[in-house]
Structure formats: C-alpha cells, structure tokens
Structure 1
C-alpha cells in the first residue's frame, strides 16, 4: 500500500470512527480514499469538527438522510458533536434550507440517537458492521460481506 493510500485510509477511519477495508481496484473508492481523505480531509486550516459540520450541512442541503445518518453517527462516536448540537443544527438549517430538508436532517439525527441509545442499553457499541457497509456502499457501490445478509 503506498503512502497516499495509507494516509487516506487512516483519515477515513478517523472520520468515520471505525475500520474501513481497503478495496483495491474500485476507481470510486480509490478516488475517495486517495483524494478526498488522503488530500482534502487531511488539509490543515479546519478542525475535524468544522469539517463535520460542513459535511452535515451539505448532505442536509441535498436531502440525503443516509449520508446524514452516517455523518451524525460518526460525529457522536468521535465526540465532535453532541446529540443536542446535532438537533440544534437541524433547527438552524431549517431556516436556510427550508422546513422539509431541516426536518429530514432532524429525523436522521433522531434515528441515530435512538439506535445508539438502544445499543447502549444492550451494553453494545453502535452497529459498526452496518455503518461500514453503508460507508463502503456510499464510496464505491460495493458491499462488505456480512453473514447476517445470508
């Protein structure tokens, strides 16, 4: 694995808060790991929290609940934002993006918070395998093998 790939994969793991597999030969995954995470997310000048807020704002503006869930879960996992701060972001963004998109973000955040609370009550961490699969699908269209799908 070359230095850029290792740097990108390390940053991707930090951003999402779990271990992403290295998928060789997928051009979209290659571009995501090497460029987005190896070059863009590693640039100085903005904190991880700043980058997370900007990413959440962008996915909220696109109305993408799946991406909002992935980002909200990672923000909670990494301690970059609290559940209350995420909920407040949704209220704030409603004024700039409109009620439908703001409430869609709120719904995604609420779903993540509820899922994390249920896992904590069972004495478990959030469902990492599902999170990894969602992120891999988002970045490559591939899916990590999960025996629960059989």
Structure 2
C-alpha cells in the first residue's frame, strides 16, 4: 500500500481496513501481469468515468510523487478522456490535475527551502 501511494499507512480501525488493504494491495496491485503505472492508468480512467474525482486526486498525486507520470502526461490523460467519458468528466479531471500539479510544485519548493 505504501508503494502504491508513496507514503506510509497504518492500519485503520477494525478488521475491514486490514482485510481490504491485504486483499487489494498484497493481492491485486501486486500481480505481475501489469505494473503499478499501468494499474494506475486504468484506475484513473475508471475513476474519471465514474465521476470519483476525490479518489482520482489521490491517485494523481501518487502517480506524480512516484514518478509514474509527468504533469504533462496527466494533462494529456484528461484531454484524452474527454473524448471517451465526456467533456464534463475530462474537464473536471483536468482541474484536479492542475490542483495536484500545483500542490506538488509547492511541496517541492518548500522542501528546497528547508
């Protein structure tokens, strides 16, 4: 889970979180047929199609932090998806990309000044 998101996670309350995390990250995200970048690409497309932009924001941030995609590639995804999931969804994703890219840039600048 930490490899997928690029930060450390701790168990949530109860068994639900642990069972879900173990299944999803130890099983599904770790299968050898697709790498993390390919899985992330599929997930961003699916989230955009479903209008799940809050979750897409998490995925976009992880993709940028982990070096899986550049800012330009994320913007290209949004433009591409406009043609397949509709302009409103693709445009909304583009707005989320802009937010995530700006946050990452500010974080990098803050780390340089430390």
| Same fold flag (TM > 0.5) | yes
Task: Specify which of 11, 32, 41 is matched with residue 22 of structure 1.
Answer: 11
Normalised to the residue count of structure 1, the TM-score between the two structures is: 0.71
Q: CA deviation at 1:19?
A: 0.1
Q: How many residues align?
A: 112
| Matches of 1:70 and 1:17, distance apart in 2 | 11
The farther-off stretch of 111-120 and 80-89 is 111-120
1:1-150 correspondence to structure 2 within 5 Å: 12-27=1-16, 29-123=17-111
Secondary structure at the aligned position of 2:33 is classed as coil
Normalised to the residue count of structure 2, the TM-score between the two structures is: 0.92
Contact kept? 1:68, 1:109, Cα under 8 Å: no
| Structure 1 runs (4+) greater than 6 angstroms displaced | none
Contact kept? 2:6, 2:62, Cα under 8 Å: yes
| Matches of 2:52 and 2:92, distance apart in 1 | 8
Q: CA deviation at 1:23?
A: 2.4
| Matches of 1:119 and 1:17, distance apart in 2 | 14
Unaligned runs of 5+ in 1: 1-11, 125-150
Q: CA deviation at 1:24?
A: 4.8
Contact kept? 2:11, 2:18, Cα under 8 Å: no
After superposition, the C-alpha distances for 1:20-51 in whole angstroms (9 at most, x for unaligned) are 01225241x12321111111111110011100
